[in-house]
Amino acid sequence: MDVRQKQALLVVCAMISSEGRREKKKKRVWVKERSGGRVQPGLSLLQRELETQEQTGFRKLLRMTAEEFYLLLAMVKPLITKQNTKMRLAISPRERLSLTLRFLVTGETFKSLRLQ
């Protein structure tokens, strides 16, 4: 085997061996990592405290009484319930309704509301 044949053979072997190796793709993140993610209570904790301790505070927060909130939740719960997946937990219907009402009450953007 002459030098040219050896070089050609080496090039072919290198091409074959590099076909099996692929660069790993960088993992994509769906949700920005915050301290604890959605497990932190946030608005729902404030809402529960106001519901049990201060009815006027609850009314100021969502512009309705706790009884009205639960009546409305019972009506729309089948429509806004989502399933949990392997990738992430679904937002509860109670939290969805609370956020929607806060959006309607304050007029803030969802970007600012998500920080609450």
Q: What is the pLDDT of residues 53-83, one digit of tens each?
A: 777 888 888 888 889 999 999 999 999 999 9
Query: Which region holds residue 74: left if phi is over 0, alpha if psi is between -120 and 50, else beta?
Result: alpha
Structurally, the chain folds into a number of domains equal to 1
Q: Pick 32 or 110 by higher pLDDT.
A: 110
Does 62 map to a domain?
A: yes
Is 64:105 a contact under the CB 8 Å cutoff? Answer: no
Q: Pick 20 or 3 by higher pLDDT.
A: 3
pLDDT at 35 over 80: no
Does 65 map to a domain?
A: yes
Does 113 map to a domain?
A: yes
Residue carrying structure tokens 């091409």 = 15
Domain that holds residue 113: 41-77+90-116
Does 100 map to a domain?
A: yes
Does 28 map to a domain?
A: no
Does 17 map to a domain?
A: no
Q: In whole angstroms, give the CA distance from residue 27 to residue 29.
A: 7
Does 66 map to a domain?
A: yes
Q: In whole angstroms, give the CA distance from residue 46 to residue 98.
A: 11
User: H-type helices in 1-116, by residue range?
Assistant: 3-19, 43-53, 55-62, 66-80, 93-106, 110-114
CA 76 from centre of chain: 21
- Segment 13-29 mean pLDDT: 65
Does 63 map to a domain?
A: yes
Q: Pick 67 or 26 by higher pLDDT.
A: 67
Q: In whole angstroms, give the CA distance from residue 20 to residue 51.
A: 60
DSSP state for residue 91 in the 8-state scheme = P
pTM for the model:
0.59
